[in-house]
Amino acid sequence: MTIAIPGVDSEAFQNEGFAVVPELFTRDEVDRFRRAAERELDPGNHNAKVGLVTTTDAWEHNEALRALALHPRLGAVAERLAGRRLRIWGGEVLAKQPHERTPSYLHDDQVSSLLDSPITFNAWIALVDVPVARGAMSFLPGSHRRPGPDRVTVADLPNDAFASYLLDTWPDLQWKRRMTIPLRAGGATFHHDRTAHEAGPNTTDQIRLAFVVTFTAAEARYRPQKGRDPLAMTAGQPIDPDRYPLAGTAEAVS
Ligand SMILES: O=C(O)CCC(=O)C(=O)O
């Protein structure tokens, strides 16, 4: 399948651990998804973590956001980057309130992963314009190819170590270049779950809204962590294909 979208270069994605697709959705498309994300953030519908407001399973219960997670164009780009069939593992709104000073600390996504999979990665889709000052994402190119340990998990971390575990464990990462990617609404970045990344504070008057979709290999299996086993599956079981559908399979997207 040939996709004429600039930035879709699977070799660069494998080498750098991230990719940028500046115009994945049109303004009209993104307006609809943004309105759905705003409704999803109504009080009572979300968790406020340090510096970030996140929804819970938004892609499963919000029709418009499910259509975004399963969007054929998004799925085609993700599968092209990965070079394989993928499933949707998650999809959440990530909001940084105006004047939120706390950054999203440098981390990788393997720290919280519950998957045994040859590849897992996030698409981070800007639902509003995200200049650097509004909490744009930064990536450490090539950091997913760092040497072992295989991964650090949440259970391995002492209290309050989340902000520093990556540099504590892999001190060489502090000397790697960081690439900060401002995005117009409708643009997206894709990053491997081992890629070190962070997002800055939001120093503007407007909320920073993004939707993150997690993709994993079609044959992924469940791998609970020590003390973190939230799903009704046993270790090593293939993830449920009904609950976690193949990428790009939304029927109609208006
Ligand atoms: O949106 C943010 O501030 C952080 C997002 C992130 O870490 C991720 O998508 O993996």
Question: Residue 155's pLDDT is what?
Answer: 83
Question: Within 10 A of 233 (CB to CB), how many other CB atoms are there?
Answer: 17
Report all structural domains of the chain as residue ranges with CATH numbers, in order of start: 16-222 (2.60.120.620)
Question: Residue 156's pLDDT is what?
Answer: 83
For the chain, how big is the Rg over CA atoms in Å? 17
Measured from the Cα of 197, ligand 1's closest atom is: 7
Question: Residue 70's pLDDT is what?
Answer: 98
Question: Within 10 A of 45 (CB to CB), how many other CB atoms are there?
Answer: 15
Question: Residue 1's pLDDT is what?
Answer: 46
Residue 210 φ/ψ, nearest 5 degrees? -140, 160
CB 140 within 8 A of CB 174: no
CA 191 to centroid of ligand 1, rounded, Å: 10
How confident is the prediction along the chain (254 residues), in pLDDT tens digits per residue?
454 677 799 999 999 999 999 999 999 999 999 999 999 997 666 666 668 999 999 999 999 999 999 999 999 999 999 999 999 999 999 999 999 999 999 999 999 999 999 999 999 999 999 999 999 999 999 999 999 999 999 888 887 788 999 999 999 999 999 999 999 999 999 999 999 999 999 999 999 999 999 999 999 999 999 989 999 999 999 999 999 999 999 865 54
CA distances from 229 to 69, 128, 202, 225, 233 (A): 24, 34, 33, 6, 9
* CA separation for the pair 21, 123 (Å, rounded): 10
Ligand 1 pocket test, pick from 18, 93, 111, 124 with the greatest ligand atom count within 8 Å of Cβ, gives 124
Question: Residue 251's pLDDT is what?
Answer: 64
Question: Residue 209's pLDDT is what?
Answer: 98
Measured from the Cα of 191, ligand 1's closest atom is: 10
Measured from the Cα of 52, ligand 1's closest atom is: 3
Nearest CA to ligand 1 atom 6: 198
* CA separation for the pair 58, 98 (Å, rounded): 22
Burial (0-12, 13-18, 19+ Cβ within 10 Å), 125: buried
Question: Within 10 A of 159 (CB to CB), how many other CB atoms are there?
Answer: 5
Question: Within 10 A of 239 (CB to CB), how many other CB atoms are there?
Answer: 21
Ligand 1 pocket test, pick from 54, 94, 202 with the greatest ligand atom count within 8 Å of Cβ, gives 94
The ligand 1 site (C-beta within 6 Å) comprises: 52, 94, 104, 109, 122, 124, 135, 197, 199, 210, 212
* CA separation for the pair 77, 9 (Å, rounded): 9
* CA separation for the pair 121, 130 (Å, rounded): 21
| 173, β-bridge pairs | none
* CA separation for the pair 154, 64 (Å, rounded): 32
